[in-house]
Structure formats: structure tokens, C-alpha cells
Structure 1
């Protein structure tokens, strides 16, 4: 067994936190948890891979030190223990992290864990018993669940939407065929209520924008916001059925704006630099570190009445505010987590450095999640040097893997292959809006059109977030080209997963018709799986239908790459009309995604793909493609198949939808050996508290490089 593990000792013991271990007659009061995370995979020289993860609980302050026991489920072998590491404690609460090391075996395995001597203060739902999680076999890749937008926007009737009902379906599918990891694509929690029923309400109600911009964020407001964010995390992460998934499926998370507050990073620069926004950026980062990453937070966060916190150095908040450290313990990290890719300089509005992620998801799948919020402004998503750090890390990891990695999953919180709405941006930012803005400022007219912060058009912060927004086009193009180059150099298929937009869709980049390259051999073929939201309400049908009508073939200015969306949704979920019958590419209904590797040993199957790709292309050849349907990025249509992209690009996309073998979200057999089965599970009826879904599937081929002379 790994040296970090040991048999459970008897009686109290001094530990690294300087306090006593639990004894048989002591109890620790639990406020939240357990929450399980996946951290990284270790590859010892000559040995089996080691799965590294963590479990987090939040307790009332205690002189006792909790211990976690874990081992193979059902086994009577030796139980391993992990001693609790205290990450943070103040007079009200303590955060404990337990680090787990699991040696992988020949096949996937279930491991169970329990923390003795805990007392839960709320309805326990069986939490006194053992919990379990699954790890893949040493030669297997992980089975993945992807979700985003796990909360409700302000003003939503949560009962009408049956709360977080889709987590019931996640748990059901997990029982059928377990997930090894669940990836949170952003907005794992919605903290927007801080401005409506929280401590920011008086500030939001200040009518004068100048006074609002210069309002101080003193230690009193910081403490009130700190309490609000903490309480909201505890409430949401303890809500069933989400809480059950939290304890059973190891998480990997990247944050987005609602983890802070709606639109953070995309308002005007002058307003984003105001004290209140900088302050809540720091408070939200603290609890993002603790709850979502199981890591120690900064010692202090920004306030306007502590000079020590009002500037940042290359590490983050310059120094500690003694008021924030009074009766408070914060664990001092000795090194960054090995999965992190830490930015060089703090963000412009969050006084901390970005933390993107890299980790292996088993044998053949790598994962990279971009922190696209810490450094975000209206005119950038990430600093150029941060992209350099990310691609340097990917190069090192791929070289060290010696060809074992065949798939790279990139997490971008906001879709990158998505219909353009430049015309709407132009209208909302045009001088035509100025009279309405004046009437709103003086008389409150058109209040729903303008946000409560900088007085800008409410919808613009969402549009400015998009990679397809005009100010992000160059950054977007550069990222796409770098990913294509990486795919070609290392023969790795790149798949992008994204959330944010509250509907389901699949976009694709691919070589244009002039290249006549099969998708299986095309390093430019990069699907963008868009799965959003698992909990929040979808947009109106009219919005989804409008986006579908904007599904044109766009041409990247490199002259080689085209982009369009896949006709994925062949029928309405359960027969319930979520969009128009003509809309086959955007689905406005709550959803999540399942990703399952097809082993190289699995038989290739075309079950459910009745006619194959040739017949699908013939059936689609009658589509009327508007003359000059070039999109706006590249003006001149390249030669070759001008309709390529409006139909299936390969066998794995043929009859994508409910008839595809991948639709069930469970099977590991499919169209391409070594490919990825993708199922988007779409809610049938939001009044059904069971969260029943309809599956829509496709298969992504691994990249087969063309050899010389082929």
C-alpha cells in the first residue's frame, strides 16, 4: 500500500494540526459534506497508476481531529486511513480535507469510505453509513459526466422547475454504469442573491452610479458577504439529490460568473474595478477554493479599510489583514496542487492568480480546464502568457505520455463553436439605445433592459462573454489554431465541452471542402459539446429557434477551417415540444452529458445507424442552402463541397440523436474503436420531480493520422 496510508490507530493521538484524534465516544458536528473530488493520477516508475482524490467535510470547530477510513467495497482486507488536514477554521466552522490514494487494478473498482464519530445536524439521508465511489481499471479511461449552470437565476420559480431534479437521473445512470468523474463547467452555484436578499442590496439600491462606483468595501461588508457566500454554499451543497452525487462521484470544477455574481468580468472596466466588485471577487474565490477545490484559501481578501489588502503582488493579495486572521486558522500550502496551471499575475478584478487544470482521466484521456473567469475583461478571456503556460504544460504531458493519450477534453465555460449574434450586439450597443438609457436613469423606464451595476444593457454582459463576440474574435481564432496544431503534432483528438448558454447543442470545427479530409484523419475536426443547464431554466423557444436559424457555415480566416452546428435533435424529448420541428440543432431544455470511451477491443457497431453516412448525405442533399451562406468571419467560400457541415461529417454523426447507439449514456460500444460515445440527456418534463430524460447520442472518432504514401 502507499506509504501515506496506515492502519487506524486506537485512542487519541497528536497530529499535524496539533490537536487530538477522535476517540470512540467523541462526536464531531458536521455542517456540510462529505464532498469528494478527483485531483490527479500518479504514475510511479514501474508500478500501477495511483488515483489521487480528496474528501471534504465542514464541521463545527472541534478539539478533535477526524479520520477517514477507506478501502475496496465489500473487501475484508486492511482498511486504510486518511488523517484530516484542517484547511481553514474560524469561530463558527472548520474545513477538513482527507487525501486518498487508490492503486488501480485490472478492472474498475468500487471503493467505500466512512468518517467515524460524525453527527449530522440536518436530515442525514443515510449519511452515517459508508459512502462509495468508483475508479477505472489501470488500462481504462474514466467515464465522464459533464454539467454546468447548476442553480437558478434570480426570479425563477424553483418549484415550477422541480428544483435540481436532473440530479436524480445522474444518480440513476451512475447506478447503471458508474461515472468515475463529474466535470463542473462553471456556475456550480448561483450567488446572485447576494444583491437581492444579501448584504449588497443597499449598495445596489444606490441610485447614483458615481456613488455606487466609489462605495467602500470595508471589513463589515466583507464579513457580511463572507457569511452570505458560506451559507449559500452549505445550503446548496447539502440539497438533495445534488448532495448524494457530491459524495459519490468525484468532482473536477472550473468556475464562471455566477460562482461570483452574474456578469462578473464583463461589465465596463471602470465599474469592474470598483471596491465592491473587487471585494466580492476575493470572498467568492475563498469559498471556491474550499468547496470546489478542497484547497486552502488566501489568508485575507480585499477590503478598502485595510491597506495591506488593497494591492496585489505576483502571488495575489499582498499581505494579511490582522482583523481577518483574528481567531482564524488558514493552512499554509507548501506547494501548488500538481493539477493546477497557475497564472503568472493576478486577475484584473480578482486579486488572485488564475488556476487552470490539467489531469489524466485514466489511460487514454487527458483533461484541461481553462480558468476563463479570473482574468476576464470585456476585451479578453485570458492573458496571452496564460495560454502559453497551458500549451507548454500540454506539450510536456503529451511528450511524457509517449503516445498513450489519444483524446484531449478541453473545458471552456462558454461555447466557442456557436452561432453569431453580432447583429444583436450592434443594436444593443448602438446610439439608438442612448435615449432609453437616459429615461431609465431618470425615471426608471425600461428597467428590465438595463443592469443594476453600471447601467449597461443587461443582455450585453452575456453577449460579451461569448468567444464569438467581436472583441474576442482574434483570441478565439488563435486558440482554435493552437489546438489544431497540438492535435496534429501529437495525433490527439481534441473535444471541447462548454456550458453557460442554458441549452444543448453540438458545434464542430473541421477542414473545409477544399481539403477533402475524412474526419477520422482530420486534426481540425474538433466537436464542441454544449451541455447547459442541469438546473437553471432554459431560454424561450423563440430564442433557441432564432439561434438555429443563425446556424450558418462559418469560415475561419486561416482559410482551412469551417464551422457549423450538428443536427443532433431529431425528435422532441418524450414528444414534448421544446422548440420548433424545424430546429434540429439547439435544444432549450435542461440537460447534462455522458462521455464514455469505446475500448479498442470493442466491436464496431452501426446498430441504429440504418443507412450509413452516404444515405444521410443523400437525404440532406435536398436542403436549401442559401446562396453565399458564408458566415461573416471568412468572406470567400473555398472550393470543394460547399455544403459540407450541413450533414454528417463521419459515421459517428450519422443519425445522431435518439436512434444513435450512444444515446443511452451507458454503452461503451459504438461506431469507432477508441472513440468517445457522447450522450446528451435532455429533460422531458420539468414538472416531473424524478428528472426523467431523453438521450441523444453521437460518436467522436479518435484521430487516425495519415501516413506518408497513404
Structure 2
């Protein structure tokens, strides 16, 4: 996947699904000089145009369409890529999250870091994935604040800055640091192999901005420095995760202005819904009003078929409010305080949690409708169930840690003990945290990825675990 001068890519991003076709963006990443060759699609040459420029990185984009009647192949730089673009019959999706670690991620041994990406690539070779769903923390940007005087102590110390020139200099530093990190990760062969062949859909989480964004004190996030960091992270997310810039969001986004970054796509008996749980997040808020309005509209639409709701933090979980109350007394877990505040189950978000569960329940109200929630964030694998009306079940599938190493086993056991206590935020609909198929414990402390399969119209899920291997399939209908 190289040209002269060298380029990274293509990285396929799904812009939208319309009339059974995939509308795609292909990103090509390179230096400030040179122009990548065009894509070849169905005999047509699709030029790469500049999407954005950074100090050492230029991002080009080519937009094109593939589908059952249009062809499933494209070529670039002398190589042909096949895309499993038919969504009408049997298909497979992969779901991943937490592609990195907080410190030193770019200096890790690629062989160790990317073992699960290589396994997903081998699985794709055996039976192609149609979509690659990313559930948050596509990058760990915690170190982008290093190297600049205004952010070297972020977020412990936040300087008061009114100098526009100083903030502009910070913005430039952060833009280039985000771009460097995305390029470094997207260029890794195990990821690049899949990214050129399987279109991605992404939902951001805190590490795509900084550790704990939204659960940090307001004086940090609302400061001029904090808002400069958020603006740089959001710009990088649009470019590298969604293949777009402001004023150019693809049709799957609910709000063309980008006030929130929630999106949804529909295909044959299938809907994917990804609310934005970061743009409006604070210590007391999970979603901004515009995000709630968009999610409520999705709940009212409620088409038949299977809806997958992407919730970057688990929608169903144990009684974490108990841990919040005693956190100061439990040695070794204080570093997870921001993570606990981030959860729907936090005491601060209880009302919002009940609200979203009622909305998800409404998505399954028609006779043929089914709903499954997909989540990451906790660096463990688990699943949960909540009873819905009509004898249906809301399944929660958590796959977290495609490259992030698992936390200590003690943390998994603490969560498992909390899960044994039960939780019922919605009356008469208790939540049950359950082991993965073939596992004994409720939480599996291994790096992992999730595979979703539709076979003869029936959906199932299996987890790919680093040490244990593939779990037996879990029926979702």
C-alpha cells in the first residue's frame, strides 16, 4: 500500500447507505508534497482531493459508490480491493473499541499491540466482514497535550489565557499532534489491511479527546485551553474518523451543522444508531438537548428488523453508584474515578439512564423489531440482558480492548460482585450481567473483539478472546 512519495491508505469510511448501495469515502494520508493516484471504480477514475492539511500531514479523500448492481471492487495504486457491500442477505460485522493505551501507545511493540487486529484480518480473509464498527477510543490522545506550555500540566493545572495568539499556537500544536497520532495508527499493517477492505463506522469517546473528557471539572473543560483542545479533537475526529469537515458531513449524520455527531444508517431489516455521548457531556449531562431529540426521533421511527444501538459506555451495567460512594476506601481503584463518572450507571446520570432505557425499549415495540446494544470502554468483555415487553430481550454486548490490555483481575471481580447484587432502574425489568458463552465469570479480562453474524435472517454474536479464542455464538433474536 505505498506509492512514491509514500502514502497511507486507503481507509474506507461509510458515508451512508442508500438504495442498497454503499456511499464511501476513501482517505489517503501523506506528507505535504505530492498527490496520490486516483482510485479506479467501475472503469472510472476518481481523483483524490485535499480534505485537510497539517504541518506534516495532508489528508486526501475520494468519494465513490459500491453496491450489488455497481460492483464490489475498487483499485488504487496498482492494487485491487474487494468490499463485501451486499447488505441484503447473510453478512458479518466486526465491533471493536479501545484501540490504544493512555501512555506510550505509539512506542509499543507492534507485534504485541496488534495481535487482535491480525486475528480479525485472518477472520476477514476466511469470511469477509461487511462493516467495521468502532465503539470509541479509536485513538488514545492523552499525550497530545505534551510539549506545549499551556497544556503540559493538563488537566491538573489549567492556565487562564486570553491571548489569542497563544491559543492559536496551542491549536496548531494540538492539530498536528492529533494528525500524527492518527497517521501512526492507521499506517500499522494489521489495521490497514482491514481498513482498505471493510468500511468503518465510528463513534467517539473520551480518549479521542483526552482521558475523562466530560467527567473533568467544568473549570477545565470550559476554559479557553479546554475548548481549544475540544475543537482540535473534534476537527480530527471529523477528518480521520468520518472522512469529512464542517459543512460537509455525510447524510447519515442527524445534524448537518455538526452541533452533535450522532448518526444512523439503515439497510435491509437492519438499523445502526450511534448517539453522540461526548459533545454535550459534563459531570451532570450525558447528551446535549439536540442529541436527545435525535435519539427520540430514532425511537419513534422504530422500523421492523434489528436495531443495533452503539453506546460507547455500556447501556446495561451493575450498581456502580455503590463503588462511587466507597471509592476513597478501596485502595488501587481511585484511578478509575473518571471512568465510573462516565457510566450511565453513575449517580449523577441516573435519570438520563432511565430515560435512554425507555427510549431503547420503544425501539422494540413493533412485533418484528429487535434491539441490541453494543458497547466498549471498560477494557473487559461481558454481556447483559434486560427484559422488554412482549417477551423480548434487550441484549447488551460489550467488546472492549482491541489493543488496550485488560485491567487487573481484581477489578473484573469487583464488577462481578456488584453485578450479583442486581440492578433495576426500570421497574419490572431487572438487568442481568451474564458470562460470555463458554465462560464462568461475568467479566472476561482479555483483549477482545466482537463478531456479529446474520445467517438466514437470524443474528448471533461471538467474542474473539486473546487467550481463550472464539466463544460459541449467542443468539440475539
Same fold (TM over 0.5): yes
Counterpart secondary structure, 1:231:
helix
Tell me the alpha carbon deviations over residues 636-661 of structure 1, each in whole angstroms, 9 at most, x when there is no partner: xxxxxxxxxxxxxxxxxxxxxxxxxx
In 2, are the aligned partners of 1:477 and 1:556 still within 8 Å (CA)? no
TM-superposed CA distance for 1:185, in Å, is 0.2
Residue pairs, 1:435-584, within 5 angstroms: 458-489=335-366, 491-511=368-388, 521-523=390-392, 525-552=393-420, 554-571=422-439, 583-584=440-441
TM-superposed CA distance for 1:95, in Å, is 2.1
Whether 1:130 aligns to 2:80 is yes
Residue of structure 1 in register with 2:297 after alignment: 392
The count of aligned residue pairs is: 471
Tell me the alpha carbon deviations over residues 82-120 of structure 1, each in whole angstroms, 9 at most, x when there is no partner: 233332236644322211212325xxx98332234xxxx
| Distance in 1 (alpha carbons) for counterparts of 2:113 and 2:136 | 18
Among candidates 155, 175, 180, match of residue 125 of structure 2: 175
| Distance in 1 (alpha carbons) for counterparts of 2:221 and 2:305 | 41
Tell me the alpha carbon deviations over residues 320-351 of structure 1, each in whole angstroms, 9 at most, x when there is no partner: xxxxxxxxxxxx53xx421001288xxxxxxx
Residue of structure 2 in register with 1:42 after alignment: 18
Residue of structure 2 in register with 1:424 after alignment: 323
| Distance in 2 (alpha carbons) for counterparts of 1:339 and 1:274 | 32
In 1, are the aligned partners of 2:357 and 2:426 still within 8 Å (CA)? no
In 2, are the aligned partners of 1:67 and 1:84 still within 8 Å (CA)? yes
Aligned-residue Cα RMSD (Å) equals 2.8
In 1, are the aligned partners of 2:148 and 2:173 still within 8 Å (CA)? no
Tell me the alpha carbon deviations over residues 164-217 of structure 1, each in whole angstroms, 9 at most, x when there is no partner: 11111101110111000000000111111224xx324774448984xx342465
Counterpart secondary structure, 1:229:
helix
Q: 1:506 to 1:90 in 2, by over 3 A?
A: closer
Of the two, which has the highest radius of gyration? 1
| Distance in 2 (alpha carbons) for counterparts of 1:39 and 1:497 | 20
Whether 1:115 aligns to 2:93 is no
RCO comparison, higher one (Cα < 8 Å, 6+) = 2
TM-superposed CA distance for 1:66, in Å, is 4.2
Residue of structure 1 in register with 2:260 after alignment: 354
Counterpart secondary structure, 1:547:
helix
| Distance in 2 (alpha carbons) for counterparts of 1:207 and 1:80 | 50
Q: Which runs of 5+ in 2 are unaligned?
A: none
In 2, are the aligned partners of 1:341 and 1:390 still within 8 Å (CA)? no
Among candidates 313, 337, 356, match of residue 414 of structure 1: 313
| Distance in 1 (alpha carbons) for counterparts of 2:460 and 2:72 | 25
Residue pairs, 1:69-148, within 5 angstroms: 69-71=40-42, 79-89=43-53, 92-105=56-69, 111-116=72-77, 128-136=78-86, 139-140=88-89, 142-148=91-97
Counterpart secondary structure, 2:99:
coil
Residue pairs, 1:8-47, within 5 angstroms: 29-43=5-19
Residue pairs, 1:646-665, within 5 angstroms: none
Residue of structure 2 in register with 1:214 after alignment: 160
Counterpart secondary structure, 2:449:
strand
Residue of structure 1 in register with 2:251 after alignment: 338
Q: Which runs of 5+ in 1 are unaligned?
A: 1-26, 44-48, 72-78, 117-127, 299-331, 345-351, 399-404, 434-445, 450-456, 512-516, 572-582, 600-673, 686-692, 702-710
Residue of structure 1 in register with 2:234 after alignment: 285
TM-score, reference length from structure 1: 0.62
Tell me the alpha carbon deviations over residues 218-239 of structure 1, each in whole angstroms, 9 at most, x when there is no partner: 2222212221111111111101
In 2, are the aligned partners of 1:51 and 1:104 still within 8 Å (CA)? no
Residue of structure 2 in register with 1:16 after alignment: none
TM-superposed CA distance for 1:30, in Å, is 4.1
Tell me the alpha carbon deviations over residues 662-685 of structure 1, each in whole angstroms, 9 at most, x when there is no partner: xxxxxxxxxxxx331100110018
In 1, are the aligned partners of 2:186 and 2:192 still within 8 Å (CA)? yes
Among candidates 377, 389, 414, match of residue 282 of structure 2: 377
Counterpart secondary structure, 1:585:
coil
